Structure 1
Amino acid sequence: MRKVIKPFGESLDDFEIFRRLAALMGVEYGFTEGKTVMDILKASYEKTSQKVPFDQFWKEGLVRIEVPEKMRQWVRHGDFYTDPAKHPLHTKSGKIELYCSEIARFNVPDCPPVPKYLEPSEFLGNAKPGQVHVVSPHPYNRVHSQMAQADVRFEQNVKGRQHVLISVEDAADKGIKNGDLVELSNSRGALIAGAVVTDKIMKGVVSLEEGNWIQLDSKGRCNSGAINMITTSVASSGLSQATSANTCIADLKRCDDAESPNRAYEPPVIERAPVRKLDVAALQLTERAARIKGATMSQMIPGEKLFYERCTLCHVPREPGDFTKSQWHGITQSMFPRAGLSDTERKLVLQFLEMNAKDAAVLP
């Protein structure tokens, strides 16, 4: 992102933090490879199909993608609709697929090839009497937990804690009034939040925005209202491995025993020890890092090298053994295009992943 303001105090961006740490340890070039942040951005931009020069894009902050003339003609003359065989979609059949043979081939029990209702692991249908279904939407005024410490000043927070929307009916049943502190709990954990009683949510459901910082009290409850205390880690399916955080059941009650105000956003007390000079040269880190990197890269097969160099740049790399063959076939559908791999390179990476997948020793 383009810089909006000058860095505040001693704040640094992630790249600069790790560059300085690498320099301190004598391995700066191994981390940066002689590149700046702008070098990396330009290289990534040049791999796209945009014709707008990078400098113009960076100055304006956006690139307008024009609809291809061929597409205009399809829409204008109806060819796109009357002769779809000439204009296939990006599916294996080229058509809109109500039944996906590719997903069927994966044979994942909880991800059928046709849209189908599957009972969630937790929902009102299997909840105990008095429990509520907890949904955890994104906040509209922050990105996950970023700037949550600033939100304590906003009206939607209750007594310095994340607010939770509760229906009028549920509030009446449990003796909860607007502005009360409430406790949500299940077998995984507990949290304290602030009640906002409203007629804009259905009975049996409460809404607690995600992203609050955690501060535990002596009972192990989050005194700040962090939804992660009670959500489940069950994946939405064995293929996608996506989060199913909105499928969560919890007990709700008024909280009368909060031990303190929310202290999640109080700065920590740091006792600074005397700075000791590190003899970096004596550690010979640069030479050792170069030997390790060279030995590691030389032993990699082509697909393995492509995977770690090209396919793991957006997120922390997952090991091949973390997923099954079927799961990797699903993951690579979006991973390969982002990495800009050719058909030959895709086959090499997929071969490496299949050789080392979680079920490599089980399935042929």
Structure 2
Amino acid sequence: MTTRFNPAAWARLFTPTRRQFLQTASAAAATALVMPAGARKANAFAYEPYPRDDDLETVVTSCAHNCGSRHMLVAHKKGDVIVRLSTDNGTYQGDAYGTDTEEKPQLRACLRGRSYRSRLYSPERLLYPMKRVGKRGEGKFKRVSWDQALTEIAERMVYLRDKYGPQALLDQSYAGASYGVLHKSDQIEGLLGRFLGMFGCRTSSWSVPSYQGTTFSSRMTFGTIEDGNEDDAYAHSKLIIMWGWNPAYTFHGGNTFYYMRMAKQRGCKFVLIDPQYTDSAAAYDAWWIPIRPNTDAAMMAGMAYHIWDNGWHDQGFIDRFVQGMDPGTTPNWAYQRGHESFKEYILGTNDGVPKTPEWAAEICGVKADDIRKLAEMYATTKPAALKASWAPGRNAYGEQYNRMAAALQAMTGNIGILGGCAEGVGKAWHSEAVAYPYDQYANVWYASIKSDRWAHIVLNYPNVTRQEAGLWPRSDQFDGVVPNIRGIFWQGSDWFNQLTNINKEIAAIRKLDEQGEGESLLVCSDSTITPTGIWADYLLPIATHFERHDVALPWYKGHYYIHRPKVIEPLGESKTDFQVYTELAWRLGFGPAYNPKAARDYFDNPDATDEAYLVDWWHKVQEHQHVEWSWEEFKKRGVYKFILSQPHVAFRAQIEQGLPFQTPSGKIEILSSQLAQIDDWSRTQYGYEIPAIPKWIEPWESLNHPLTATYPFHLISPHPRWRTHSIFNNIPWLRETFSQETTMNAADAKRMGIKHGDIVELWNDRGRVVTPVYVTERCMPGVLVLHEGAWMDLDKDGVDRAGNPDFLTKDDPSPAGAFAYNTVLCNIRKTDLHHRPGWDQLATARSHVFRRDQ
């Protein structure tokens, strides 16, 4: 058997470790001390000189990870090896070097994108199909052929479908690092979902971990998730409220920081509402308002009260464009069904509890005077952007925070105007549809559950209610039928590492094993060995975006396309997801229907077929979006940046031209027509009642809860700058720069005898994790911060030594689907347990060098 050249293995063989380098250097120094006089100096060079730019081929491509943006990468390669990566310098659309304008800014990659070469040639790179030979989760696999892996998978799929029904296989695909025109992995229009739907056996998931509460709010309020401005609109704001938003770490457009800086230079004021003082607050000199986690809706209600109390609301805007804001805009049918307007709730007309700033202050821990001050700033500064980020919506009843934010945006008239903001989800400029024929079996499923309830279903089947499962209603015999899950496909996702309550997931996986040999199937398709893959039966090596042909789409914002050619041939025996599912479809009898343009040899020769799909897509772009470049010109240039006639502002047409909103009433629905008319909540995917207007609902864990007697700290797990969820966790460069550590308030640490750099244990009744501690004044008392996405690393007692916060999170269903990642109480103490910074033991975090012990 012939094994193809592996540049990663070659690099590891000839690249010394840090220890080897130091040992060699010490030996050389010692030798120099005893070298005889007159000895000739060696002229040999141990390694081939680093290639110069003139020796390299330059190829424009992009990053591909699910970070909230999509930037240009420029691959510099020698032969079939990428030597280094750079990024946009202004020249690739025919402009001069350094061109970077408000109209056409550069699409410069961040730290994560620039480190992608380390991921491509990572020691964890998966190069061959692997089959599990050890116990589940033990990490023991053997190499097998593609034929054996796909034959066994196909046979098991047929067996499980025929024995356990069309709900037996769970689709856990997600956006991961596979987001493009052709190679796409998500639950709605992705490759795996279409494959399992056509196979006739698929349980899907309807809730998105990042922003399901926000999605619910946007759809109920505006009728669409396309409620975002393009980021150039921020440059025209006079006030930007970053509510739970840290754009220095998480930006949702190609050039967020560019336009935020421009706003600052033009005199815009910034406010941050967040439990921690972030880098964004420092960068923009923002007024920091610390807030207790999961209490944001209460603070917003207090702001609404103060705005009404002073008559700062925009009554003309409310009367024209809003339903349910006050009695005058609330339809009679809603009153007849026992509902009230938002203003009546805020004033306490019916419940006798006015939602004053003082009322809110008791809940959220923000001074009433600060609530009043912020309310006045927002209501009297025009235009003002209240950017309600996703993070506070990742809480129990998180949708109420987003709906409350929409109410504030509407009552101040800051929707549909340049410099204002209606953002919940924030999807903005609309890119062209995908090339693949997704109209057939695009999203066929036989059960759709709330994503993080799969483990609960497996552990408790068949004694599971539709409310517990979060079952989406159907109009056939499968309505209300809880799936008997026997198999899981992971594609473009590391969900086993990323969903809530990991210990519950581990118990569920082990229960699947108890069903008997051959009665379950776990398949992980990825380019690297991940924590999820460790628990799989089969590991399928997937080509990275450098090793397949595609076009990069902007991610929710950004008006551009980036050509993504096959820069190098796939390493090892890697194949694309499209190749894998096409081949499986042929073996299962529906190959031509699944991939109509492909011949039977697509598994070995995909290039011409992929090109044909992309050419068809480009023709749609030319027709619908009036692009004059030919496909060949686009491939040559590498990037096409649209120049808009004016900044894209969500709902500008509704406000300026009177077009209706996409809601039942045609207005902004602060009182939701859909929610207000539901009679039987048990027959909805929500399962439990959701108020028709935004309200403050007490979460199941918070600093106001009696449970603080046992677990006195509220843990939040924001997105890190140095990972995209769990992607890039195995990159030594990034781990050397940023530590996985628990951030703790200095006063709390002093009281508990904890010093900066100590190893601490965080625990509750769901799990235990170990990390170093970072002591600072930049986090409010009573709150701990531990960034999500660390690759789990369990010791013999089940303690996670890597510091993954999802061992502490709870998987209880929040009705609208919000994931309660940030609704966590826990305790903390110094520990003698061992912390491991990552699977690569050579990488050590050095950020502590630049910090002073507290």
Match of residue 121, structure 1, among 683, 697, 700? 700
The 3 A distance-change label for structure 1 pair 4 and 164 is: farther
- The residue that corresponds to 1:153 in the other structure is 735
Please state how far the C-alpha of 1:142 moved relative to its aligned partner. Answer: 1.9
* Inter-partner Cα distance in structure 2 for 1:128 and 1:63: 52
Taking the TM superposition and a 5 Å limit, the aligned residue runs for 1:118-267 are 118-126=697-705, 127-129=707-709, 131-150=712-731, 153-157=735-739, 162-235=740-813, 237-239=814-816, 241-258=817-834, 261-262=836-837, 264-265=839-840
- The residue that corresponds to 1:340 in the other structure is none
Q: Provide Cα deviations, 1:285-339, integer angstroms capped at 9, x if missing partner.
A: xxxxxxxxxxxxxxxxxxxxxxxxxxxxxxxxxxxxxxxxxxxxxxxxxxxxxxx
Please state how far the C-alpha of 1:174 moved relative to its aligned partner. Answer: 2.0
Question: 1:102 aligned to 2:102?
Answer: no
Q: Provide Cα deviations, 1:140-167, integer angstroms capped at 9, x if missing partner.
A: 122111110115632331xxxx112111
Q: Which amino acid in structure 2 is aligned with residue 211 of structure 1?
A: G
* Inter-partner Cα distance in structure 1 for 2:800 and 2:766: 12
The 3 A distance-change label for structure 1 pair 44 and 99 is: farther
Please state how far the C-alpha of 1:192 moved relative to its aligned partner. Answer: 0.7
Is contact 2:582-2:595 (8 Å) kept? no
Is contact 1:182-1:194 (8 Å) kept? yes
Please state how far the C-alpha of 1:128 moved relative to its aligned partner. Answer: 2.1
* Inter-partner Cα distance in structure 2 for 1:177 and 1:20: 55
Q: Which amino acid in structure 2 is aligned with residue 123 of structure 1?
A: S
Q: Which range is displaced more, 175-184 or 45-54?
A: 45-54
Please state how far the C-alpha of 1:178 moved relative to its aligned partner. Answer: 1.0
Please state how far the C-alpha of 1:266 moved relative to its aligned partner. Answer: 6.5
Q: Secondary structure at the match of 1:252?
A: strand
Match of residue 690, structure 2, among 111, 115, 119? 111
Please state how far the C-alpha of 1:177 moved relative to its aligned partner. Answer: 1.1
Q: Which amino acid in structure 2 is aligned with residue 140 of structure 1?
A: R
The 3 A distance-change label for structure 1 pair 194 and 119 is: same
The 3 A distance-change label for structure 1 pair 171 and 146 is: same
TM-score scaled by structure 2? Answer: 0.27
Is contact 1:185-1:230 (8 Å) kept? yes
Is contact 1:184-1:251 (8 Å) kept? yes
Q: Which amino acid in structure 2 is aligned with residue 212 of structure 1?
A: A
Q: Provide Cα deviations, 1:235-288, integer angstroms capped at 9, x if missing partner.
A: 3x323x231111111111112232x64453479xxxxxxxxxxxxxxxxxxxxx
The alignment-based identity, stated in percent, is 26
The 3 A distance-change label for structure 1 pair 174 and 13 is: farther
Q: Which amino acid in structure 2 is aligned with residue 264 of structure 1?
A: W
* Inter-partner Cα distance in structure 1 for 2:671 and 2:626: 38
* Inter-partner Cα distance in structure 1 for 2:659 and 2:586: 56
* Inter-partner Cα distance in structure 1 for 2:664 and 2:784: 41
Please state how far the C-alpha of 1:62 moved relative to its aligned partner. Answer: 4.6
Is contact 1:213-1:265 (8 Å) kept? no
Q: Which range is displaced more, 3-12 or 209-218?
A: 3-12
Question: 1:88 aligned to 2:660?
Answer: yes
Please state how far the C-alpha of 1:13 moved relative to its aligned partner. Answer: 5.6
Q: What is the aligned-residue RMSD (CA, Å)? A: 3.8
Is contact 2:654-2:660 (8 Å) kept? no
Q: Which amino acid in structure 1 is aligned with residue 693 of structure 2?
A: V
The 3 A distance-change label for structure 1 pair 121 and 5 is: farther
Is contact 1:213-1:226 (8 Å) kept? yes
Q: Secondary structure at the match of 2:695?
A: coil
Is contact 1:135-1:247 (8 Å) kept? yes
Is contact 2:760-2:831 (8 Å) kept? yes
Is contact 2:767-2:808 (8 Å) kept? yes
* Alignment: residue pair count: 253
- The residue that corresponds to 1:341 in the other structure is none
Is contact 1:170-1:203 (8 Å) kept? yes
Q: Secondary structure at the match of 1:154?
A: helix
Please state how far the C-alpha of 1:138 moved relative to its aligned partner. Answer: 0.9
TM-score scaled by structure 1? Answer: 0.58
The 3 A distance-change label for structure 1 pair 46 and 96 is: farther
Is contact 1:19-1:28 (8 Å) kept? no
Is contact 1:163-1:208 (8 Å) kept? yes
The 3 A distance-change label for structure 1 pair 114 and 38 is: farther
Q: Provide Cα deviations, 1:104-144, integer angstroms capped at 9, x if missing partner.
A: 22455442111101111111111323521111111112211
* Larger strand percent: 2
Q: Which amino acid in structure 1 is aligned with residue 726 of structure 2?
A: S
Higher relative contact order (CA 8 A, sep 6+): 2
Tell me, which stretches of 5 or more residues in structure 2 are unaligned? 1-551, 553-563, 599-608, 682-687, 843-854
Please state how far the C-alpha of 1:173 moved relative to its aligned partner. Answer: 2.1
Tell me, which stretches of 5 or more residues in structure 1 are unaligned? 268-364
